[in-house]
Amino acid sequence: MAGESALIDHQASDGGVGINGVVGSEPTPEFAAEMIEAVDQLFNLLDDQELRQIALMKLEGYSNEEIAVEIGRSLPTVERRLKMIRQIWKTERTDE
């Protein structure tokens, strides 16, 4: 099948299904529950409400500049807080 994408759900040469038959477009309920639990655990490590707000906004896709405007802080402050959040989360992973 020359010229076709390997990522499109074509029938595999061995009669199996393509990638879309293996990986669904939606997470399983179990995977979603695990992710929610993992995010909750990480957010619980942040003892400051502003750190939680910054982390949440970053996860929602806001730029550092947008976060700074939204919370009324300077860009360097937001970047320092993001570095602090990463360090807290990294330390937790290495402690396990």
In angstroms, rounded to a whole number, what is the distance separating the alpha carbons of residues 70 and 82? 15
The DSSP line for 34-47 is HHHHHHHHHHHT--
Does the pTM surpass 0.95? The reply is: no
pLDDT per position as a tens digit, 26-60? 888 999 999 999 999 999 999 999 999 999 999 99
8-state DSSP, 11: P
For the chain, which domains are there?
47-96 (1.10.10)
pLDDT per position as a tens digit, 58-80? 999 999 999 999 999 999 999 99
